[in-house]
């Protein structure tokens, strides 16, 4: 009597992890990264007393895939600028 053995082979198909490396450099700002993996976010925050040219203090960027590979999305600006301080009128009380 002949015994037949059946083998079930399971293969795990792995793909290369999509990971963003360096975040865009923004002057006068710090970057907080929760994860460098695909579709995760990072927040760029201007230092105290600075803002982006559009008035925002924060920009969110996303790890995304483009025709150049896996990169962070462009925050739109490469620097935070000094905030304008409203003029203050001083008066002397005599």
DSSP 8-state symbol, 86: P
pLDDT < 50 positions in the chain: 11, 13
Domain extent for 76:
29-82
Please report whether residue 91 resides in a domain: no
**What pLDDT does residue 88 have?**
58
Please report whether residue 20 resides in a domain: no
Alpha carbons within 13 angstroms on the beta-carbon side of residue 30 total 3
**What pLDDT does residue 50 have?**
95
- Taking CA atoms, 42 is separated from 2, 45, 65, in Å, by 63, 10, 15
Angle at 54 between CA 60 and CA 72, to 5 degrees: 25
Tokens coding 42: 């990072």
Please report whether residue 64 resides in a domain: yes
- As for how many domains the chain has, the answer is 1
* CATH code for the domain in which residue 62 is found: 2.10.70
**What pLDDT does residue 67 have?**
72
**What pLDDT does residue 19 have?**
86
Summarised one tens digit per residue, pLDDT across range 28-38 is 999 999 888 88
**What pLDDT does residue 4 have?**
55
């Amino acid at each position: 009597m002949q015994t037949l053995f059946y083998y079930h082979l399971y293969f795990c198909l792995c793909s290369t992890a999509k990971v963003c490396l360096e975040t865009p450099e923004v002057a006068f700002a710090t970057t907080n990264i929760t994860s460098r993996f695909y579709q995760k976010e990072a927040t760029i925050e201007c230092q105290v007393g600075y803002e982006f040219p559009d008035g925002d203090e924060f920009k969110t960027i996303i790890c995304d895939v483009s025709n150049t590979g896996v990169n962070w999305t462009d925050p739109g600006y490469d620097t935070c600028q000094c905030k304008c301080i409203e003029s203050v009128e001083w008066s002397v009380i005599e």
